[in-house]
Chains A and B, each alone.
Chain A
Amino acid sequence: MHISRQSPEQSVTEPIIRMQNVNKWYGQFHVLRDINLDVAAGERIVICGPSGSGKSTLIRCINALESHQQGSIIVDGTQLTDNLKKVEQVRKNVGMVFQHFNLFPHLTVLENLTLGPVWVLKQSQAEAQARAMQTLERVRIPDQANKFPGQLSGGQQQRVAIARSLCMNPKVLLFDEPTSALDPEMVKEVLDVMVNLASESGVTMLCVTHEMGFARKVADRVVFMDQGSIVEQNTPDAFFDHPQHERTRHFLDQILH
């Protein structure tokens, strides 16, 4: 096993995620085209775009849930290859929140939260449980610790899922449309947790979402994708108020009515 770590002298400006000329195909279908994206540590990025534009695939490449066929992805100094050790190394530092929560239904909320810390980070049960309870306080559902996920509402489940990834102490958090599968009245409770997370912690966030209010409030940068390419990226204000490209304007018209 050989993990290439970044050298200390360049660490200040070195991005935590660097994607260079990344290409990916599903069979004949070209999902990602020449993606170049640098993300600085602590940066919050919102990725948006029409469905099928490759935005989910892009963030799923960052923790190697999808493999890319061309180009290079370096996450926190580790280059993603087929090497499973490196993939596991990256996943330790990169948390992910899914559209459909993907909680483990046969385990209680507390067990969901302690599984990774105990088995991957080798914490003791007691330590992991104490931290899990703190994290549940943070997402404001400490009283649900001993329930099973199936007994919670969608919004509560997604907050548990956020807590599950936070328990791993990640440097990067990926959100794959975290509010799309929720009933409308539950969207806010999840977004509130995410906003708090952004303001209270220094974690790097990449969020695929269509919640433009959230993007304006939290994002340092909005990335717009279409047909597998990054079309435009800018600060939220500039992005929403002065979109540069015709496709961006068209997309914004569609979602902002």
Chain B
Amino acid sequence: MNTPSPDTGLIAAQPAPAGKVGLIGWVRMRLFASPLNILMTVLIVWLLMMGLPPLLEWALLKANFTASNAQECRAGPGGACWAFIREKYRLILFGTYPYDEQWRPLLATLILLAVIVCSAIRRFWNLWLVAIWVVGLACVACLMWGGLAGLTYVENTRWGGLPLTLILSTFGIAFAFPIGVILALGRRSNMPVIKALSVVYIEIIRGVPLISLLFMSSVMLPLFLPEGMSIDKLLRAQIAIIMFAAAYVAETVRGGLQAIDRGQIEGAQSIGLTYWQTMRKIVLPQALRIVIPPLVSIFIALFKDTSLVVVIGIYDLTLSAKASLSDPLWRGFSIEAYLFISLIYFVFCFAMSRYSKQLESRLDTGYAH
């Protein structure tokens, strides 16, 4: 059948092999290709059949969405009590922020999200972005603190919930990234003092858990400050998060820098670029593209690690969820509360992950690295 035709020297066209295309082909290739593959397929189907129905039953069929108090929920058929979330979502989302003023953190959160979305769009990657950030952050600060334009003043110790988590992680990423890049360049510097300082910083910070950094910033640091001088607790936590993430960013970026061929630097030097021009125009754009996946992992971890500020009593999303559970009228719905905030965390982390994937393919110029 495969012998070439005597006239043209070509093999005659053939139909696609049976059983390799279409739905049956797909199923056979993906699900039943080998004994191990068959075993895994059966195992997964069995697990889904065991787990999915009870989960759906609990989360949807037997769930109570409308109860007005905990007794009604408990009297039901034993499903999830989403009425709890309905009752408490404002406490979870905005923490201890004054109840009547909670439109302010809501608006601030939306503005912050809008600014972040603008930063992700390549069309805004110019001076506009700086303007957007300045205006956006000014609005967020006005709304959160108030104290002007008829808004009552709200201390930042009363901030909480989602806006706080977003603020901590936005500033965390925005500052940890450039500091990390500079540390990475410092670690590869020819200048011994700069190199040593970078290495010491990175190794010390990486060797210490974030929790202990947060404790130190909140408990130890005030002891060393001169009397009468104090740095805001929230700011201290923010600095600890930035310092921590910067060390990880530095090591990741260094990995990218090492992957850049020495010839790239020589090429840049040969046309007379200075060290900083070479880094900014040639080395970093290539190095950072390579490390987008691990870098985004760090940012996702940072986003979730902001929840560790609970240990020093800052009401971020996690702690305000916990606070919502302490209402004596609504005891015992921790599963619902933690599922709710997990969903919020997941939405943000998944968005970051998808964006990084898109960014990666958009920056691909067809060279092998």
Chain A residues with a Cβ under 8 A of chain B = 63, 65, 84, 88, 91-92, 94-96, 98, 100-106, 115-116, 119-120, 148-151, 161, 164-165, 168
Closest Cβ neighbor of A149 among chain B residues:
B367
Contact B270 A88 (CB under 8 A): no
- From A150, A151, A165, give the contact of B271 (CB < 8 A): A165
Q: Which residues of A contact B285 (CB under 8 A)?
A: 106
Partner-contacting stretch, out of B9-17, B88-96, B219-227, B273-281: B273-281
Q: How many A-B contacts at CB < 8 Å in the complex?
A: 76
- From B270, B274, B277, give the contact of A65 (CB < 8 A): B270
Query: Is B155's beta carbon under 8 Å from chain A?
Result: no
**Given A106-B367, A148-B365, A150-B365, residue A95 in contact with residue B271 (CB < 8 A):** yes
Closest Cβ neighbor of A94 among chain B residues:
B270
**Given A100-B263, A104-B282, residue A165 in contact with residue B270 (CB < 8 A):** yes
Contact B366 A151 (CB under 8 A): yes
Contact A116 B271 (CB under 8 A): yes
- From B268, B275, B363, B366, give the contact of A150 (CB < 8 A): B366
* Distance in angstroms between the alpha carbons of A119 and B268 in the assembled complex: 11
* Distance in angstroms between the alpha carbons of A202 and B325 in the assembled complex: 83
**Given A92-B272, A115-B273, A120-B272, residue A102 in contact with residue B366 (CB < 8 A):** no
**Given A105-B286, A106-B286, A148-B366, residue A168 in contact with residue B271 (CB < 8 A):** yes
Chain B residues with a Cβ under 8 A of chain A = 261, 263-264, 266-275, 277, 281-282, 285-286, 289, 363, 365-369
Contact B289 A106 (CB under 8 A): yes
Closest Cβ neighbor of B277 among chain A residues:
A119
How far apart are A117's CB and chain B's nearest CB, in angstroms?
Answer: 9
Contact B270 A120 (CB under 8 A): no
Q: Which residues of B contact A63 (CB under 8 A)?
A: 269-270
* Distance in angstroms between the alpha carbons of A65 and B267 in the assembled complex: 10
Contact A96 B270 (CB under 8 A): yes
Contact B282 A91 (CB under 8 A): no
Q: Which residues of A contact B368 (CB under 8 A)?
A: 150
Closest Cβ neighbor of B267 among chain A residues:
A102
Contact B366 A120 (CB under 8 A): no
6 tightest Cβ-Cβ pairs between the two chains A and B: A102-B267, A116-B271, A105-B367, A150-B367, A96-B270, A102-B263
Contact A119 B273 (CB under 8 A): yes
